[in-house]
A and B are shown apart, each in its own frame.
Chain A
Amino acid sequence: MAAVEKPGVDYLRPRTWQDAVALKTENPAAVPINGGTDLMVDLNFARSRPPTLLDLSHLDELRRWEKSNGTVELGAGVTYTDVLEHLGSDLPALALASRTVGSPQIRNRGTIAGNLATASPAGDAHPPLLATGATVRVESMRGIRDVPIGRFFTGPKRNVLEPDELIRSVLVPSARGPQQFSKVGTRNAMVIAVVSFALAFDVPSRHVGTGIGSAAPTPIEAADAAAYLDRELAREGYWEDHRELSAGVVDGFADRVAAASRPIDDVRGPAGYRVHALRVMARRTLRWAWSALATDGIHAH
C-alpha cells in the first residue's frame, strides 16, 4: 500500500569489484548503475523505482581493457569514448558504432556493459559485438561464466543475467579484416537507431560476421546471409583474386540480411522501411568492406 512506502532509494557504493559482486548477491534487487545514461532517464520518467542502487561508476578496475591472444577484454566501465580514442584499429566496427552514440557527454559516460545490460534492440554496441563474435563475461559469488553474445539477449530489454550476476567484461576478438557499421536515424546525430547493421570480415578464416539492430525483438545475426556469402566467395574464387563483387553476390547477401529481420512499425519508422534500409546498408557496407580488403591486400591482416 502506497501509504507505507518511503520515496527514498538506498545507495550502495562498493569499494572494489569483489565487494560489488558480494553486494549484488546480498541485494539481488539492487540495480547497478554505471554511466547512468539509461538508468537515470528511466528514473526521471518514473519508469522504474529501484529500491537500491549499486554504484559501479567509480570502480577504476572496471575502466580497463586488456589485449591478449587476439582478444580485447573490455572492462564493464569502458566507455564509448575509450573505444573511440584507444581501440579504433582493434575494434573498428565497435568504434564506428561508438561514434554514432548520443553526444560527446553520453559517449564519455555511457558504457558498453550498460548498453548490453539494457539490452535494447536498438543498442548500438550490439551489432558490432554480434558481427565479431564477442563474449560477455558475467560474474557472481557463484563464479564467472562466459556467454556468447548470440545467446545473451533473450527478448526486448531482456538478457540472460541472473539477479545475482553482474557484467564483468566483454571479450571482443581483435579485427582480422575490414569491418563496417552503419546506422540509420532520422537525425544526423544523437539519435536512436531506426535500423543498424554491422559486418566484419575475418580474413584468415574467410568468414563474414553480421549483426542487425532495431529490426527484431533483440539484436540478431543474419546467419543465413553470412553463410551464403562465405559460400559464394569461396565458390566463385573471390578470395583468390579479390575482384569486385558481382551485383548478384551483393544482392544475394543483402536480400538475406533483409530476410533475417523481423521489424515492427513504431514511432521511429515503419517496418517496411527498416527492411528496405537494411538491404541498402548490407549492400553498401559489403562493398565498402570488400573494396577495403581488396585495396589493403588480402594478406595485410
Chain B
Amino acid sequence: MRARQQLDTKVRDRTTHVRGVGTSPPRPDAPLKVLGRFAYASDLEIDGMLWGATVRSPHPRARISGIDISQALAIRGVATVLTAEDVPGHRFYGIKVADQPVLATHEVRYVGEPVAIVAADHPETARRAIEAVRVDYEVRAPMTDPEEALSGAGDLIDPGGNVARHVRIRHGDVSSARSRAEVVVRGEYASGVQDPAFLGPEAGLAVPDGSGGVDLYVAAQWIHDDRRQVAAALGLDPSRVRLTLSGVGGAFGGREDLSVHIHACMLALRIGRPVKMTYNREESFVGHVHRHPSRIRVELGARRDGTLVYSKVRLLLDGGAYTSTSRIVIANASYFAAGAYKVDHVEIDGYAVYTNNPPRGAMRGFGAVQACYAIESAMDSLAGELDMDPVELRICNAIQEGDLLPTGQGVDGPTPTRELLEHLRRLPLPSDRLVAGEDLRRLPGGVGNTTHGEAVVRGVGYALGMKAIGFSGGVDDISTARVSVSVAGGRPVAEVYSAASECGQGIVAVQAQIVRTELGIDSVTVRPADTDIGDAGSSAASRQTWMTGGAVEGACHGVRELILERAARRLGRSQGDLVLTPRGIMTPGEGEALLHLADLLCHDTIEHTFVYHHRPTEPIDDVRGQGDAHIAFAYAAHRAVVDVDTELGLVRVVELATAQDVGKAMNPQAVEGQIEGGSAQGLGLALLEEVQVEDGFVKNASFTDYLIPTILDMPPMDVRLFEFPHPDSPYGLNGVGEPPTLSSTPAIVNALRDATGLDLPRVPVRPTDLIASLHGDGSPGG
C-alpha cells in the first residue's frame, strides 16, 4: 500500500518531456562514432608518454626457469622491463578470486599469459623489446580437455583442484518422477568458444600523479572494481588510484576482467612518465576472456500430452586457466538449465573446470546462453518424439508467475512467456518462393554465387529464453548518482554524474532522459564517468539502466525536494502544495508558474547524491541449491526462418523475429539496438563465431578468420517489444541487453534442424555439419 502511494507521487511529478524517458533522442556519441571521430581508449595520448607492451607465454603450460631482460633493456628507447618481482603489491588479482598472476611467477598456464612488460619510446621499439626478452620455459604437457579435468585423472592445474565450482540443484525428486514419464529424450549439446569480438581493442593510459599515486584512463565495464584490483596490485590505498572511463569500443563482458590496467600503472609509476598500452588484434584475442565452451547433457521426461515431468541436466563449462567469473557463470548456467518451463522434478549438476585453455569468463548472457541452447534443443527433440508442434509444447509448459524455479524461488514479476510465443506464432511467415534471377544476397552463400536455388530447403525454428537480471545470490548491489541543478545563461541546467560505464549501450543518453523527465530541465550534461564519485557497479548482467537509472531517479527526487523546500520558504507556502514543472514551480491545477527555477536558484547549485539498492537476495545453498537468489527475470523468444543449401552446407537466415518483455522501453531505439545486436551475436554463435583452440593454441586470432555476422548475414528483424511494467524497478523497466542472445541461437539451430532433419548437437553449426553425406558420427565433440 505504502509502495503504491510512493509510486503515485513519483508518477505525479514526472514530466512528459519530449526528450525524456520513453523517447529516443539522438545520442551524443552517435555522430562522432559514425564519422570516425569518437575518441576511443586506443586514441588517448599525452605529451611525453611511453608505450607499453606485454611479453606473453608461447606455451599452454610451462615452468619458468629464468627470465633475462638484459637484451631488451639494451635497446635504445626502452625505458624499463618489469617482471613479477616488480609487482609492488599483491601479485595476484581477479574479479572474484585473486588467483591470476599480475605477471607469471614460476609457471604459465595458458598461451598468452603475461610474463613481463616493457615501456619504450615508440610502439615498434616496445614490440622489438618484447621479442628480446628471453624466457626459459620447461614445457609441460597441457591439459586442455575439460572432461579429463573433471575426471580428476590428470594432474592438477589449480592447487585447489581442477573443479572451479560444482553447482548442485535438487528440486522435487527426479528418481521417483522417472517412472511417471511416458516419453524420455536425451541429448548432449556442445558449444564452442565465442569471443566478445568488440572492435575497440584493450587500451589505457596511466599517468603518474607525481606523489606516488596514478590516474588511469581506460576502457572498462566497472571502474570501481577495477580500481580495487589495481590498487591492491600496486600496494596503494584505493584513493591514490583514480580511474576515468575512456571511450569503450564494445565490451559484452570481455572488459569485466582487467587487461592493461595494472601493467600500464606499474610501468608509469616505475619510470615516472605516462604510459599507454593498446593491444593489437591478435593479442586482444588472448587479452580478454571468452564465452565458456560447454557440453551439456539433457534428459527430459514428459507425459504423452507434452507435460514435462522431470529434467536432469549436467553442464560442463571449460573455464580455462584461471577463475575469472567461472564460479558465477556456472551458477547462472545452472539456475536456468531447465529453461523457462515449469518442471516439478529437476536435478542439475553444473561444473566449471580449470584447463590450460585461455581463461573464460563473462560474456553477454553469462552461462544462460549455453544452457538455453541446450534446453531449447532438447525441447525440439522432445516435440519431435511426441510428434507435437514445438511451439505448442513450449506454450503448454511455459513458466508462469508463481511457479517455482528449480532453486525453489517463486517466479515474480511479469512472466509473459506465452504471450511472446503466441505473438511469434501468429506472425506471417516470409514468402518461400525463390524467383528466377533472385538477388544473390538473398540466397545461402550470398554474392559467392554458390546456388541459384539448387538444393535449398527452408526451415522454421522457435526458442524461448529466460534469465535473471542484475546480480544474483546475495550481492548487495548498488549504484550511485549525483544530480545537480544550476543556472547558465539565465536558464536552468542539470548535470548528472555517475561511474556507469558507457560501452555503447546508451547509458549516457538514458541518464539525461531521466533527468529531463524528473526535473523538466531540458539542458542536461552527463559528466564523464570516474571513480571520484561512488560505485555504479558493472555495465553487466543487464543491470545498468535499472541500477544507475534508479540512482539518477533517486538523485532527481532529492534535488526536487530541495528545490521545492527552498521554493516553499521563498513563497511562504507549504511544500506539499508545490510541484516542479518545465515551466517553473506551480501549484497543481494552476496555469501560471509561481516562480521560475532560474529565479529561485540565482547563482546557487542544488545537488543530491543517491545510492540505489535493489531488493535483497540470498545465495543458494550447497546441498540442494535452494534460495531466493534473483531480483528479477527477463524473457525473450525468437522465431528464425532459414534457407539451407544442403549440398554445400551454407545458410541464409531469411528472417529473425523476436518478442521481448522490456518492462518499459526507456529509449526505444537503444532497446531495439540491444535486441538486434544481441540477436546478431546469437546468430554468430549459431553459425559462425568460434575461437578455434587446439592444444591450448588459438588458431584464428583475427577478424579474417574469427567471423562475426556482417550486414549481409543479418536478416531483417521483426522486433516486438512488450512493456509489462516491472513492480520493483525504476519506471517498470526490465534489463534488456542479454535476453536476445539466449533464444536467438537455438531458434536458428532449431530452424536448421527443421530444414535438414539433422541433430546438430554443436554450435556453431559448420557447413560440414549440414551436409548429410559428409556427416561424421554425429557426436558433439571437438
Measured CB to CB, the residues of A under 8 A from B are 2-3, 5, 7, 41, 44-46, 96, 99-100, 103, 180-192, 194, 267-270, 272-273, 276-277, 280-281, 284, 288
> A44 to B125, Cβ gap below 8 A?
no
Measured CB to CB, the residues of B under 8 A from A are 71, 74-77, 122, 124-125, 127-129, 131-132, 280-282, 441, 444-452, 454, 647-650, 652, 687-688, 692, 699-700, 702, 704-705, 707, 709-713, 766-768, 771, 773-774
Task: List, in ascending order, chain B residues with CB within 8 A of A186's CB.
Answer: 650, 687-688, 707, 766-767
Least CB distance from A275 to B in Å reads 10
> A188 to B445, Cβ gap below 8 A?
yes
* Besides A186-B767, A188-B448, 18 other A-B contacts (C-beta < 8 A): A2-B75, A3-B74, A5-B128, A7-B124, A45-B702, A103-B710, A184-B648, A187-B709, A188-B446, A189-B441, A191-B448, A194-B767, A267-B699, A268-B705, A269-B768, A273-B768, A281-B450, A284-B450
In-complex Cβ contact of A184 among B450, B452, B700 (8 A): B450
Q: List 20 A-B contacts (CB under 8 A).
A: A2-B131, A45-B281, A100-B447, A182-B450, A183-B448, A183-B449, A184-B650, A186-B707, A187-B713, A188-B650, A190-B712, A194-B767, A267-B699, A269-B766, A269-B768, A276-B771, A276-B774, A280-B647, A280-B648, A284-B454
> B688 to A45, Cβ gap below 8 A?
no
Residue of B nearest to A188 (CB): B446
B interface: dominant SS: loop
Bound state CA distance, A270 and B127, in angstroms? 34
Least CB distance from A282 to B in Å reads 12
Residue of B nearest to A268 (CB): B705
Bound state CA distance, A44 and B692, in angstroms? 22
> B450 to A183, Cβ gap below 8 A?
yes
> B449 to A180, Cβ gap below 8 A?
yes
Task: List, in ascending order, chain A residues with CB within 8 A of B705's CB.
Answer: 192, 267-268
Task: List, in ascending order, chain B residues with CB within 8 A of A192's CB.
Answer: 704-705
> A187 to B71, Cβ gap below 8 A?
no
Q: A184-B648, A270-B768 are in contact. Are A3 and B76 (CB under 8 A)?
A: yes
In-complex Cβ contact of B122 among A7, A46, A272 (8 A): A7
User: Which of B688, B700, B713, B767 gathers the greatest number of chain A CB atoms within 10 Å?
Assistant: B767
> B449 to A100, Cβ gap below 8 A?
yes
Q: Top 4 nearest A-B pairs by Cβ distance?
A: A188-B446, A7-B124, A189-B712, A183-B448
Task: List, in ascending order, chain B residues with CB within 8 A of A7's CB.
Answer: 77, 122, 124-125, 128
Least CB distance from B144 to A in Å reads 17
Bound state CA distance, A268 and B766, in angstroms? 10
Task: List, in ascending order, chain A residues with CB within 8 A of B711's CB.
Answer: 189
Bound state CA distance, A268 and B700, in angstroms? 9
> B767 to A269, Cβ gap below 8 A?
yes
Least CB distance from B621 to A in Å reads 44
Bound state CA distance, A282 and B711, in angstroms? 28
> B448 to A44, Cβ gap below 8 A?
no
Residue of A nearest to B443 (CB): A188
> B448 to A184, Cβ gap below 8 A?
yes
Residue of B nearest to A185 (CB): B448
Task: List, in ascending order, chain A residues with CB within 8 A of B280's CB.
Answer: 44-46
Task: List, in ascending order, chain B residues with CB within 8 A of A284's CB.
Answer: 450-452, 454
Task: List, in ascending order, chain A residues with CB within 8 A of B702's CB.
Answer: 45
Task: List, in ascending order, chain B residues with CB within 8 A of A44's CB.
Answer: 280-281
> A187 to B688, Cβ gap below 8 A?
yes
Residue of B nearest to A266 (CB): B699
Bound state CA distance, A280 and B448, in angstroms? 14
Least CB distance from A273 to B in Å reads 5
> B648 to A277, Cβ gap below 8 A?
yes
> A267 to B450, Cβ gap below 8 A?
no
Bound state CA distance, A276 and B129, in angstroms? 47
Least CB distance from B197 to A in Å reads 13
Residue of A nearest to B649 (CB): A273
> B75 to A272, Cβ gap below 8 A?
no
> A188 to B713, Cβ gap below 8 A?
yes
Residue of B nearest to A281 (CB): B450
Least CB distance from A292 to B in Å reads 11
Bound state CA distance, A190 and B446, in angstroms? 10
> A2 to B71, Cβ gap below 8 A?
yes
In-complex Cβ contact of A2 among B132, B648, B652, B768 (8 A): B132
> B707 to A191, Cβ gap below 8 A?
yes
Bound state CA distance, A187 and B688, in angstroms? 7
Least CB distance from A72 to B in Å reads 21
Least CB distance from A71 to B in Å reads 25
Task: List, in ascending order, chain B residues with CB within 8 A of A100's CB.
Answer: 447-449
Bound state CA distance, A191 and B446, in angstroms? 11
Task: List, in ascending order, chain B residues with CB within 8 A of A2's CB.
Answer: 71, 75, 128-129, 131-132
Task: List, in ascending order, chain B residues with CB within 8 A of A194's CB.
Answer: 767
Bound state CA distance, A284 and B451, in angstroms? 7
User: Which of A99, A187, A188, A269 gathers the greatest number of chain B CB atoms within 10 Å?
Assistant: A188
